Amino acid sequence: MRLRNIPGADEAVLNSPYCVNEPQSYCGKWQVLFPTKGPLYIEIGMGKGRFIMDSAAAYPQINFVGIERYSSVLLRALQKMKELPLPNLKFICMDAAEIDTVFSIHEVSKIFLNFSDPWPKDRHAGRRLTSRRFLALYDRILSLDGCIEFKTDNQELFSFSLEELKETGWSIDLCTRDLHKDIVLNEGNIMTEYEEKFSSIGNPICKLTASRSF
Ligand code: SAM
């Protein structure tokens, strides 16, 4: 998702009280940004923020950080936050490739990856947010009992992600290729913008959760 050149998007992000503009300076200290201490959950590639905002509203005891690369996309979430501020939610505008400079070792309890860009060409596989390159970063910042939750409608990306996780020693704790038809796994599911869009045209939604195998 990329909304190009929205005038003022960079300034809006820079001046927003909901965005953390020097995130590296909070490495290891994210709890100081929230009124209450709690587990830290992050979504990488949050887009316009529907999922993370609904999650933060549903779980006020958890602190959330949404990460999005493009200010033009993040802008939409900032506009929604103005209408409904959530004290347990902050945003960062950055490329997740540097995420290990922003969160310290084991600082994060859960990582959500929702409808990540598929990067279909083989030569771009390393850009996929579920590639081993990114899994190594998640391994550093995720608490030892933490987990990754990944949803997509892209069957190839899902298969690739399962392979990468298995080959790099993660355990797959939950796996379905039709989340919405699974009454148990779908209970409490919080929809993302892309999930709504793709499930409405009949695409089954895949979901996995993965943790470290010790
Ligand atoms: N998660 C949302 C959803 O499910 O509706 C948006 C999905 S959209 C297809 C993927 C989003 O991830 C885009 O907004 C894109 O800019 C962002 N993204 C992709 N790679 C990223 C990266 N390396 N760092 C931060 N954001 C990234």
User: What is the CA(15)–ligand 1 centre distance, in A?
Assistant: 22
User: Of 10, 100, 117, 182, which one is the catalytic site residue?
Assistant: 117
**Protein residue with its CA nearest to atom 6 in ligand 1:** 47
Domain boundaries, the chain: 10-212
Inform me whether the pLDDT recorded for 35 exceeds 60.
yes
Per-residue pLDDT at 88 exceeds 80: yes
For ligand 1, the distance from its centroid to the CA atom of residue 70, given in whole angstroms, is 9
| Active site annotation includes 10 | no
- Taking each helix axis from N to C terminus, what angle separates 50-58 and 71-83, rounded to the nearest 10 degrees? 30
The residue to mutate among 52, 67, 69, 102, having the most atoms of ligand 1 within 8 angstroms of its beta carbon, is 69
Report percent pLDDT > 90 for the chain: 96
- In the predicted structure, residue 2 carries a pLDDT above the cut 80: no
Q: Contact at 8 Å (CB) between 177 and 204?
A: yes
Question: Per residue in 43-77, pLDDT tens?
Answer: 999 999 999 999 999 999 999 999 999 999 999 99
Supply 65's token pair: 């950080």
Rounded CA separation 165/160 (Å): 9
Of 3.40.50.720, 3.40.350.10, 3.10.20.600, 3.40.50.150, which CATH number belongs to 10-212? 3.40.50.150
55: number of Cβ within 10 Å: 22
